[in-house]
Structure 1
Amino acid sequence: MNAATNSLIRDINLAPQGRLKINWAWQHMPVLNRLREKLMAEKPLQGQKVAICLHLEAKTACLAELIRDAGAEVAVCGSNPLSTQDDVSAALVAEGVTVFAKYNPTPDEFKFYQIHTLETLPDLIIDDGGDLVSILHAERPDLMRQVKGGCEETTTGILRLRAMEKQGELQFPMVGVNEAFSKFLFDNRYGTGQSVWDGINRTTNLVVAGKTVVVVGYGWCGRGVAMRAKGLGANVVVTEIDAISAAEAHMDGFAVMPIREAAKRGDFFITVTGNKNVISTEHYHLMKDGAILANAGHFDIEIDKPALESISTSVQVVRENITEYILEDGRRIHLIAEGRLANLAAGDGHPTEIMDMTFGLQALCLLYMDENYQKIGNRVLDVPYQIDEQVARYYLEANGIAIDELNKEQEEYQASWKL
């Protein structure tokens, strides 16, 4: 496949500045660098085709180059219309990776790019939110014939995959990368926590200290967002539907209440639930003038945008990535990045060192799938613990951290039921 001929990108002339971004990321990804050295020598994916649907920015480019260096032909598309960086896309094409992506495409273009990626007839896929898997099963089963399996990046995607598995509709195995300890403990918590506030702060240029931040959902991403908000000096309120998560948020020192009550108090609202319309009309009517809404879930459905527009007398962009809605009583509600992922649509996404661990998992799980897909069956597989631990060990070694090991006596004691 000729990447330059087949790709659909904004402008190949942007490649030099994209290359600078990718090189910077490589300098801060010790896990991927270690894997790259090994995979370049062994070429375990020689002759394979791999389709990747992820947020197309510099860190994702490093993963794509790693898989290319392992011998595969790689085709990449974006998993969010506002997170694709055109210069990074150009740099990948210049290095032989096929790319179908542009920043802010129309909905039809966005879907077309994903389908075009699947038309390369991949053997393996890396998905984000289940988009590629959904297209293959619901719209283009004719493109599924070579697919051995793949890996899923997000909570949202794994929920969709498990629903397909439960209904007996999943036609190939997928590894739920998001459920690895080396993913959700770091990427979801520290990555989301820092990057969401990076996006909000650079976009609004407003102080957080002393204000009330409402975090809607207290999973691992919500934990991270709440933790960082507290660090910035905010008064943090958590809303939840799960009693255990709500109890945990309470013991972590946060106020917990129904969202209808929190709507009256919040200055900032960040949704991290994976569900739809968790903020809607009844909440808009209760919010303060100037309330700021942001989403950190995969899809732009958590904040009910049609409902907000329907009760507004004016809608205008008042600052890059901020849309202002003026309600009939004159109150203003501000939405960041059209309700899409605030950390990517209004920022650069998770810190590089965090994504180094996540993409280390993706690469190792893809190799595992290639070797074991026939044994797995059509189901969602948890990341094997040895892969999870291996990535954590790579990370520790890269940071000069040593840990203890059990001696023989201790191993025997733990293996025995006798005291």
Structure 2
Amino acid sequence: MESTIRDINLATKGQLKIDWVKAHMPVLNTLREEFERTLPFKGKKVTICLHLEAKTAYLAKVVQAGGAEVTVVASNPLSTQDDVVAALVAGGVHAHAWYGATDEEYHQHLHKALDFGPDYIIDDGGDLVSTIHKERRELIGKVQGGAEETTTGILRLRAMEKNGELAFPMIAVNDAEMKYLFDNRYGTGQSVWDGIMRTTNLVVAGKTVCVVGYGWCGKGVAMRAKGLGARVIICEVNPIKANEAWMDGFEVMPMVEAAPLGDFFVTVTGNKDVITGEHFQVMKDGAILSNAGHFDVEVNKVQLRAMAQSCREVRNNIEEYLLQDGRRIYLLAEGRLVNLAAGDGHPAEVMDMTFALQALALHYLATAKDSLESKVYSVPLEIDKRVAELKLRTLGLKIDLLSEEQENYLANWQHS
């Protein structure tokens, strides 16, 4: 099977990136050694749809080490690193992706990756699952299951399950504690500001940051903004999360009230149209908009273009929209994931835990597939705990263990 990539000659440069993250992903290294011995995916085909940068590449190599034939495809056209993709192809992994793919090319790549006829999938945002169910139904029955990376994807999967439309089991990796407590919070918090700061080269301290959405990703973005010296405003629709944001020390208000105050805006909701024309109307000159949700629909770009008298790229990954009254609004990375489209994504040590969950979720599917229905499953607790234990071990950390007497005390309600 041929690959669809930009330039195989970039492989050497890409391999250096993969080698770097490999040195900082000890949990995956442990699993790779195990998979090389046990070959849990021998004879199986796996299609991985994730952001194609070095950490994802190493996950693909770990799955390949378990005996699988692997194909990768991008989950976002602006997060693909062509040199990393080339290195994967040079190492025997099939790939269909390049940086800056058009919408037509992006969907062609998805279909080519599915032409592979996968037994298992790893998805991001539900792109593979959606394509299979809408356009490639001949694969239903061939695909035995998969794992989903993101909040956005899990929302789509649960809607499919509720409607009785999900045709194979999917594991909600994003809902694992070793995922959202670290990847969503610390990973997103650091990588979003890395992307914003390297793109704008502007100071954050003393500025007002408006974070739209206070889920685990929003908590991480807000926490890092506060640490950088910003005033932080939270916009929420969930009253429980709004109370949490207030108790965490942040201001809370509707977006229409926050819009005139913000210097930086970061959307992390997984929903559409959270920043729209009514907000652009009252934003200050020089406001900077960015998104850290999966799809580029959180900032309404159509309305922003319609309101602007001109648009130009003033710096790589920064579009300037000049409004009729002379105000300028800046949009980073076309409103796509700013931490990946304008940065390198989450730190390797964080993704080490997430991708270990992905690898073990696939292993679970391969061993338990006959007993699983076409539903959305949580990551088994033993997998979550195993990744936690492996991570502590690689850090050289030890924790206390319960004695038999303590375990009995906790298990017996009659003790006082």
TM-score normalised by length of structure 2:
0.99
Of the three residues 64, 67, 70, the one matched with 2:66 is 70
Q: Which residue of 2 aligns with 1:200?
A: 196
Q: Which residue of 1 aligns with 2:410?
A: 414
Q: Distance in 1 between matches of 2:369 and 2:35?
A: 20
The letter for the 2-side match of 1:66 is V
Q: Distance in 1 between matches of 2:264 and 2:174?
A: 27
Of the three residues 328, 345, 355, the one matched with 2:351 is 355
Superimposed CA distance per residue, residues 300-319 of structure 1 (whole angstroms, 9 cap, x where no aligned partner):
00000000000000100000
Q: Which residue of 2 aligns with 1:112?
A: 108
Superimposed CA distance per residue, residues 241-299 of structure 1 (whole angstroms, 9 cap, x where no aligned partner):
00000000000000000000000100000000000010000000010000000000000
Q: Which residue of 2 aligns with 1:236?
A: 232
Q: Which residue of 1 aligns with 2:155?
A: 159
Greater Cα shift, 134-143 or 193-202: 134-143
The letter for the 1-side match of 2:93 is V
Q: Distance in 1 between matches of 2:398 and 2:319?
A: 48
Q: Which residue of 1 aligns with 2:318?
A: 322
Q: What secondary structure sits across from 1:74 in the alignment?
A: strand
How far apart are 1:372 and its partner, in Å? 1.1
Q: Which residue of 2 aligns with 1:212?
A: 208
Q: What secondary structure sits across from 2:359 in the alignment?
A: helix
Superimposed CA distance per residue, residues 167-204 of structure 1 (whole angstroms, 9 cap, x where no aligned partner):
00000000000000000000000000000000000000
Q: Distance in 2 between matches of 1:372 and 1:363?
A: 14
2:168 equivalent to 1:175: no
Q: Which residue of 2 aligns with 1:387?
A: 383
Q: Unmatched 5+ residue regions in structure 1?
A: none
Q: Distance in 2 between matches of 1:413 and 1:161?
A: 40
Q: Distance in 2 between matches of 1:369 and 1:42?
A: 15
The letter for the 1-side match of 2:47 is A
Q: Which residue of 1 aligns with 2:27?
A: 31
2:327 equivalent to 1:298: no
Of the three residues 264, 276, 281, the one matched with 1:280 is 276
Q: Distance in 2 between matches of 1:104 and 1:355?
A: 24
Q: Does the CA-based 8 Å contact 1:57-1:84 persist in structure 2?
A: yes
Q: Which residue of 2 aligns with 1:85?
A: 81
Q: Distance in 2 between matches of 1:254 and 1:115?
A: 44
Q: Distance in 2 between matches of 1:400 and 1:348?
A: 27
Q: Distance in 2 between matches of 1:311 and 1:44?
A: 55
Of the three residues 123, 128, 143, the one matched with 2:124 is 128
Q: Does the CA-based 8 Å contact 1:76-1:98 persist in structure 2?
A: yes
Q: Distance in 2 between matches of 1:416 and 1:176?
A: 32
Q: Distance in 1 between matches of 2:11 and 2:85?
A: 8
Q: Which residue of 2 aligns with 1:252?
A: 248
Q: Does the CA-based 8 Å contact 1:198-1:343 persist in structure 2?
A: yes
Q: Distance in 1 between matches of 2:372 and 2:237?
A: 34
How far apart are 1:374 and its partner, in Å? 2.1
Q: Distance in 2 between matches of 1:12 and 1:70?
A: 25
The letter for the 1-side match of 2:69 is E
Q: Distance in 1 between matches of 2:307 and 2:106?
A: 29
Q: Which residue of 2 aligns with 1:14?
A: 10
The runs of at least 4 consecutive aligned structure 1 residues that moved more than 6 Å come to: none
2:225 equivalent to 1:224: no
How far apart are 1:146 and its partner, in Å? 1.1
Q: Does the CA-based 8 Å contact 2:272-2:297 persist in structure 1?
A: yes
Aligned residues: 415
Q: Distance in 2 between matches of 1:112 and 1:367?
A: 29
Q: Distance in 1 between matches of 2:141 and 2:242?
A: 44
How far apart are 1:140 and its partner, in Å? 1.1
2:398 equivalent to 1:402: yes
Q: Distance in 1 between matches of 2:138 and 2:34?
A: 35
Q: What secondary structure sits across from 1:299 in the alignment?
A: coil
Q: Distance in 2 between matches of 1:210 and 1:413?
A: 52
Identity %: 63
The letter for the 2-side match of 1:292 is I
Q: Which residue of 2 aligns with 1:269?
A: 265
Superposed CA RMSD in Å reads 0.5
Q: Unmatched 5+ residue regions in structure 2?
A: none
How far apart are 1:237 and its partner, in Å? 0.2
Q: Distance in 1 between matches of 2:60 and 2:138?
A: 25
Q: Does the CA-based 8 Å contact 2:40-2:366 persist in structure 1?
A: no
Q: Distance in 2 between matches of 1:14 and 1:74?
A: 20
Q: How does 1:143-158 map to 2 (within 5 A)?
A: 143-158=139-154
Q: Distance in 1 between matches of 2:290 and 2:100?
A: 18
Q: Distance in 1 between matches of 2:26 and 2:90?
A: 24
Q: Distance in 2 between matches of 1:138 and 1:415?
A: 48
How far apart are 1:228 and its partner, in Å? 0.1
2:99 equivalent to 1:103: yes
Q: What secondary structure sits across from 1:7 in the alignment?
A: coil
Q: Distance in 2 between matches of 1:105 and 1:75?
A: 18
How far apart are 1:42 and its partner, in Å? 1.1
How far apart are 1:376 and its partner, in Å? 1.6
Q: Does the CA-based 8 Å contact 1:314-1:327 persist in structure 2?
A: yes
How far apart are 1:142 and its partner, in Å? 1.2
Q: Distance in 1 between matches of 2:29 and 2:370?
A: 29
The letter for the 1-side match of 2:146 is G
How far apart are 1:44 and its partner, in Å? 1.0
